[in-house]
A and B are shown apart, each in its own frame.
Chain A
Amino acid sequence: GENVGLHLPTLSVQEGDNSIINCAYSNSASDYFIWYKQESGKGPQFIIDIRSNMDKRQGQRVTVLLNKTVKHLSLQIAATQPGDSAVYFCAALLARSNYKLTFGKGTLLTVNP
């Protein structure tokens, strides 16, 4: 099965700095990789996704990079704000497996004002 994990369990940054959250995966057959943000006591919120045949995708203040050679992806948040404080999960989606998502362990991002 898929194994998706994160390198750092916690990350603390200063407001305005850029944040980088990393994730490793094991199943190269995954079709998409998705980053979610989860605030305390709430369900995951979609941030950005990347198709497995892409290397980079940008959104508003966020960029996801995918390195298939080493099975690694990262989420970059520019100009991090206090509202970005949350737990971030990467997830791998396998379309042929009924679109199941396999979540990584999560990284707690704390933004200091």
Chain B
Amino acid sequence: GAVVSQHPSWVICKSGTSVKIECRSLDFQATTMFWYRQFPKQSLMLMATSNEGSKATYEQGVEKDKFLINHASLTLSTLTVTSAHPEDSSFYICSARDPLAGVPDTQYFGPGTRLTVL
């Protein structure tokens, strides 16, 4: 099946620094990628929808200036957490949609990135 990778798998950073997380579709071209955040023992919350070559669409309550999303190619989207604070510590998961696959299981999820802000 389709594979989506994330890098890094985990990261620890100091408060006030920025962290970039990459999401790659390895064997298909993803016109749309999604970024989710998951706190412990909670569900996945959609942060933003990223379309290749255009600006991301953020969900209500998600600060676009804090969570910068770049979808520069059909196989790569990046999420940058700027000026990270301890409350940004979470599990960040991306998914990529293969437009050539049948609906609905066209979203393939990455393995997630564990961010810990000290």
Contacts from A to B (Cβ < 8 Å): 31-32, 34, 36, 41-46, 49, 51, 89, 93, 95, 98-106
Decide: A101 and B34 in contact? CB cutoff 8 A. Answer: yes
Q: List 4 additional A-B contacts (Cβ < 8 Å) besides A41-B114, A103-B43, A104-B43.
A: A34-B104, A43-B6, A102-B46, A105-B42
B97 CB–A CB distance under 8 Å: yes
Query: Do A31 and B44 have beta carbons less than 8 Å apart?
Result: no
Which residues of B line the A interface, CB within 8 A?
4, 6, 32, 34, 42-46, 49, 51, 57, 91, 93, 95, 97, 103-107, 109-112, 114
B105 engages A98 (CB within 8 Å): no
The 8 closest A-B pairs by CB, nearest first: A32-B104, A43-B109, A103-B43, A103-B44, A93-B104, A44-B109, A46-B105, A43-B112
What would be 11 A-B contacts, judged by CB atoms less than 8 Å apart? A31-B103, A31-B104, A43-B111, A44-B109, A45-B109, A49-B104, A99-B103, A100-B34, A101-B34, A101-B46, A103-B43
- A63, B87: Cα distance in complex, Å: 39
CA distance A106 to B91 in the complex (A): 15
B57–A98 CB distance below 8 A: yes
Contacts known (A98-B49, A106-B43); A43 close to B107, Cβ less than 8 A? no
**Shortest distance between the CB of B21 and any CB in chain A (Å):** 13
Q: Are A98 and B32 in contact (CB under 8 A)?
A: yes
C-alpha gap A98/B33 in the complex (Å)? 10
What A residues does B109 contact at CB under 8 A? 36, 43-45
Contact B32 A44 (CB under 8 A): no
The residue in chain A whose Cβ has the minimal distance to the Cβ of B104 is A32
Closest-by-CB residue of B relative to A42 is B111
Do the beta carbons of B32 and A42 come within 8 Å of each other?
no
B105–A43 touching, CB < 8 Å: no
